[in-house]
Amino acid sequence: MPAYTAPLRDFDFVLNEVIQVQTVLSTFSSYEEATQDVLAAYLQAAADFCQYEVAPLNRAADEAGCTYHPADRSVTTPAGFKAAYHAYCELGFPALDCDPAFGGQGMPKTLVFPVMEMLCSSNVAWSMYPALAHGVYAALHAHGSPAQKATYLPPLVAGRWMGTMCLTEPHCGTDLGLIKTRAHPQPDGSYTLTGTKIFISAGEHDLSDNILHLVLARLPDAPEGVKGISLFLVPKFLPNVDGSVGRRNAVSCGALEHKMGIKANATAVLNFDQAQGYLVGEANKGLGCMFTMMNTARLACGMQGLGLGEAAFQGALSYAKERLQMRSLTGSKAPDLAADPIIVHPDVRRMLLTQKAYTEAGRAFSAWLALQLDIEAKSTDAQARQQAADFVALLTPVAKAFMTDNGYTATHLGMQVFGGHGFIREWGMEQLVRDCRISQIYEGTNGIQALDLLGRKVLLDQGQKLRAFTKLIHKFCQANAGNTTLRPMVDALTQLLTDVGEVTLHIGMQAMVNKDEAGAAATDYLRLLGHLTYGFFWAWMSKVALEKRAAGGDTAFYDAKLATAQFYFARLFPEVHSLLVTLRAGSASLMALEAAHFGFY
């Protein structure tokens, strides 16, 4: 398994030089303590923890997996996981951006996202345990009753208790309107829940004293479909009046799934046998409450793609500098060696630069998106809050799908750089491919994200959110049109802005006649907007790099940024041309073939 080094220099560039996070955070009184030095200290502490505590566990944990004990239906995590989690809690990371009223540190999301990336790069299966707990915290903080918050948030914030979200059932995944889990009201105001949930990440483990399950279920008189779903909190152990762990609840792990990747995370089948639970939010409005956690999870998925892509890039880069194979096509570059390092070969450079370009653009995008979350939560300007909320709503599907698609591409290329060794488990690269693959599937497949983007976030409001984002890019292009170095990037973005407007109108008009047109266009449309987004951030980073280099900054670092940006626009951004063609191709070729005629056997 290649060693992992946290990209602290790049975090500093993105946070402090590009999005200039302090300029924004300093206007919020609740972030007075989040100075540049404080954030840097947190990032260094997170880097040390990831590099020296959890990264060394990664490969052995993948080999060992989690152990299910049928006798008591318990689960043991791989060696070292529990000690690492205790160290994580002692460092205060579960409380990082949580509400100080419940023991949190009140730090900004712009700190949390880089920490999340580092955790995903170093050991994504381990990172999922605290990530799910934080999702439960977010849902309860937003929708829980005062009593629920007082009981459950402090131990979540401290890391003593963790959590899950329980949506999927054996017969339904995305179509939650089909769920069968039932909740029956009890005289004391609680409910008993009966049903089975599958694919529950971190569903049972030995890391914490308690596990809080957020469960979607139906009340006896619930309407059909998604309008009849309620959300319930079902603790593994019922809390005592004093907040301590009490008796075991009637929820148990029936099995662990046998998976392609993330083997060190306990993906469980959970059985609820009249388990005691508590309604969160209003009856029959549970899906809206759960979306608070789901949107958090979707952004976390994007960070998984980013983090694993970074890990694959680091491994491939190190290998490419050392592996000797053949001579350069333009003459020997290492005449004192038996052959040249493979980094001299154009195709190897294509793979490395693709990894680098997608990863560094994703890092800038995620940092900016985190800043929008901070603005949405803390700004006193109602208009700024609304604009930030619109940006987050529009771009969450892009973050989830585009970042995971590109992350999978990066891990695949990393394995390819290693050649035959990449296919061998001991080198660790095939694990990154396996671990990354699920990120394109769970928390709503990337196809579902595409439908959400085009149908709900663009067409439903007649492009209002999209226009606000494209206006931001248009202003950047106008302001930098006279910059000779940036001109090719600005021209490419300006043309794509026009193309996005035209193709969005085209799809919208076609979908008014035939809704399959939107379904046929959705995946390509998301990828188109993904390139618009990454292109914007590469142009923005290039502008900053030019300014910093002119001021006598770190020349090598800024030159590398500019060279990578030029590669992105020359070799990756042109994908938009083929996307525009397929977007205008419509649904006819997809829907013409009868289902019975897909194969003749």
C-alpha span between 530 and 404 (Å, rounded)? 11
Count of other CB atoms within 10 angstroms of residue 152? 26
What DSSP assignment string belongs to 359-401? Answer: HHHHHHHHHHHHHHHHHHHH-S-HHHHHHHHHHHHHHHHHHHH
* Paired residues of 197 in beta bridges: 270
Across the chain, which distance is largest between two alpha carbons, in Å? 84
Strands 191-200 and 251-256: unpaired
The residues that are catalytic are 443
Instruction: Calculate helix-pair angle for 109-143, 346-378, nearest 10 degrees.
Output: 50
CA distances, 423 to each of 212, 407, 459 (Å)? 39, 18, 43
Residue 452, token pair as written in the block: 């959400």
The H or E element spanning position 247 is: strand 245-248
* Paired residues of 211 in beta bridges: 162
C-alpha span between 378 and 162 (Å, rounded)? 26
Q: What are phi and psi of 185, to 5 degrees?
A: -65, 145
Q: What are phi and psi of 489, to 5 degrees?
A: -70, -45
In 100-229 the beta strands, taken as DSSP E runs, fall at 161-166, 182-185, 191-200, 210-217
